[in-house]
Structure 1
């Protein structure tokens, strides 16, 4: 028996010396790399045949079905050739960077057609890896890769394996391999599957397929998280409602995305620009949840109540009367009241904790998470009585201006979605810090950006300065489109052109046509000359006594 450590002796070189024209090679490993083929190409092309067993169920029918389960998707992208290290492992990046992958894959595919059979271990039992050339066996091997052959670095400081020579020493390993190889109950032939995966590497793909592959690469993580649980349920019939059919394409996209976010994170902020129909979009979301027998509350400023009560009443002015909306409408100020009636609802009878969905119009009115010990503020009552108590409540917030002058405004609104406990949201995200930390860092970046010279204070600059965590958080729970975005990414032929905003005009009209009246500048100068002493009584106090009035230490006789 001889030992090989890939330091003083290299497995790849030893295999080259053993493989002869017509040799039979047997191999059991979890990984097969086309770059390992390239390293031994001259010798491998001369052998008689190679039998390869994947020790794990790679490329088997069970593995493929599990990894390519079709879900609620329009396009289906089959798995690429990266399974089982086929197109290179993490330690073969240098080889992949040479951009010779297509040529190597083409040669490897032809070699496989001529001389190789692949079978995959589907027994569910473990199998020891090995390599054998005729009556010489190597045990154990970490895989058929350039790093395992000793030609590239690996994650092992040492990799000692034994070389057994002759039918006596290697015979038992060879007989075990042959016994497993000939057991159809434990192995599945995957030669054609492996070959088709390699063929993908050098195939001439159509532009359409390249486009879909790019989309799959960009959105693969998002698609992996999709499930029927968070997608709108078509069986509710929400697509047949009057409000849904009244929506434009960009509003329908927003409505379905909102439902996905509500089901995943329990909250969403719709921050589309003014005029893009946030109310109609929200109505479509409300109708979806009403179709699922959910109870819905709309909270809005008192002056906007009619915008919402129009659609849940049996009025001739209701364009969606056929949908029979049944949501409740209350004003923001009603959160501070415990008695009386508002918009036809008795406030002392409202079961605040029984709403499955709360839609907050003009949600920026709740940007201040003010708390008081002697009384419940509106924010406290909304958080405690509506969101935390009773049933699990989802929160949809509508605001064209969710941020006033600090990112805390946005954080306070988001807290309503995750009930003030950020673990309810962060468990769905891979943030490097807490949600509070994300907003503190974003505010610090904004403060730094705002101090830059005007020519450097650009949107591109602040986007480059903000951390990736901030964008991940916003992508998860917000939807914000401008008119320019809609015009760029949607077919707006049904919408028509948005109104063109004219530049402001500076009109300077005289105060009056009477020439005896002084002009604005003269009036301003005269006002500036006035001391207005009657409004500044402290000017009449002696300087020596002034401190008594400023500190409040003087008595009435002073």
Structure 2
């Protein structure tokens, strides 16, 4: 014989198991619960489908004016009862609407936080169908917080056993009251205390109790249905929204997060265009994730300004910078360093090519930011320049503290391994956490050459490159120093047709006739050898 106490201590003595057995013989159920979550409904969905009527009475969990809170504020006041009565009796339309809105928010949160699964999707669809079929009615009790939990079941009028024989039953139904909310936890594994109540008098009393609260409550079925309809289970995304979602996940590493990257309005940042500031923000994200970035905008888009802004960003955070560039660019970088107060040192790339190149670069072992202008000069790993620099980087590996900024409009000249050798300057191991397949940079490059994978899947993680067409399309109104950006217009070459005969008259024909008379004797000496 089953015990009347239901406490979820065992699977057989869980509220879920008891309700499931009683619902099979019932035609209606009335539920009063402080909380409602999809999981509780989903657990009993198959049994609930066979009922004629389901009435769900829930509380608004956001009511700031509950009796308990009033009592706390007026604990020692003689007028506490009057205040409680006033709250219970008088709620104007604005207050009711506010509480209904709170209840909608609670339901929205319940559906949004429900695990996205086939089971929960089916449960939400069934809930919506129950409301459309008028099988399910939902109301919200607003007068005070509904702390009661009750499950009142009305038995079917005619019951039959497995053999089809009619079962005579005098009970009108059965009730369970206690602590369990209509949630998955309340039905199954929370430590609860509920009691089974039988007998027609008790059933009648609890039915009247429920009816009284039901009549005092506000209808919530329409709002309930609206929230379900707008949930992830019923509000299907359009193909375009799916496309945008996929696109976002592809490029999210490159999207500027202005809250995380507070780019100071220093002199250099003030001089940047919008597209250059965007590149700086994207580059910082890449540098922090992979310790290296390619700044590879086409010629004329200000790669050196972007590089200067990156040095300035890290300089303000106490990082020391080194700029390595070809000899002809040293004067330009010295100007940027002085003008924007970058605090950087500048080294000629040619110094690395000398036999003592390692000793030269080794003086800068304290540098945490290294910018290499025209980094494509490091595409070949077999020359002194590359070997000296790589040895320096390996000997003074700063364990993800050093950042390399590779500035080049042409990171690849011949093969993908041009890029590979530059990546190896900041990513020394072939095994990688960069999301590529295979997760080995050397193997990946070989598969790029074999056209088995897309090179772009790696480049989009490490490289920033915009063309003039991109700037004209997405930044058409951009200005520098108040003047619009204008790219020279390239005119299609037009052929100029002319007639040699018309220009030189008959001279061309005469020249050809003279050519015909040439014997080229010096090239045909054997014709003059006597036999």
Q: TM-score, normalised by structure 1?
A: 0.53
The answer as to whether partners of 1:29 and 1:144 remain within 8 angstroms in 2 is: no
Of residues 380, 392, 400, the one that matches 1:368 is: 380
- Higher Cα radius of gyration: 2
**Pairing 1:379–2:386 present:** yes
For 1:436 and 1:282, the matched residues in 2 are separated by 28
Residue 21 of structure 1: how far off its partner (Å): 2.9
Residue 264 of structure 2 aligns to a residue in which SS? helix
- 1:295 equivalent to 2:307? Answer no
Where 1:46 maps in the other structure, the secondary structure is: strand
CA distance in 2, matches of 1:358, 1:21: 74
**2:406 aligned to 391, 397, 401, which one?**
397
2:349 corresponds to which of 323, 329, 332: 332
1:433 corresponding residue in structure 2: 439
Mapping of residues 78-227 of structure 1, within 5 Å: 81-85=111-115, 89-91=117-119, 111-114=137-140, 167=196, 200-202=227-229, 219=248
Task: Describe the SS at the equivalent of 2:370.
Answer: strand
How big is each residue's C-alpha offset from its partner over 1:367-419, in whole Å with a ceiling of 9 and x where there is no partner? 2222xxxxx7211211121465154321111111212232222222112121x
> 2:326·2:349 contact (CA, 8 Å) conserved in 1?
yes
CA separation of 1:491/1:225 partners in 2, compared to 1, >3 Å: closer, same or farther?
A: closer
Q: Secondary structure at the match of 2:342?
A: coil
Aligned partners of 2:310, 2:447: CA distance in 1, in Å?
33
Q: For 1:456-513, what per-residue CA distance to the aligned partner results, in whole angstroms no more than 9, with x for missing partners?
A: xxxxxxxxxx45xx54432221111112222222353424332222223456899998
Contact 1:38–1:104, Cα closer than 8 Å, also in 2? no
Partner of 2:462: 477
CA 1:47–1:93 in structure 2 vs 1: closer, same or farther (change >3 Å)? closer
Partner of 1:415: 424
> What is the aligned partner in structure 2 of residue 496 from structure 1?
485
- The CA deviation at 1:333 is 2.0
Q: Which residue of 366, 376, 379 corresponds with 1:354?
A: 366
Cα distance in 2 for partners of 1:303, 1:108 equals 82
Distance of 1:522 and 1:393 partners within structure 2: 74
**Residue 267 of structure 2, aligned match among 212, 234, 242:** 242
Instruction: Report SS of the residue matched to 1:437.
Output: helix
8 A contact 2:56–2:136 mirrored in 1: no
Structural RMSD (CA): 5.9
Q: Alignment partner of 2:301: what SS?
A: coil
Aligned length: 388
**Match of residue 78 from structure 2:** none
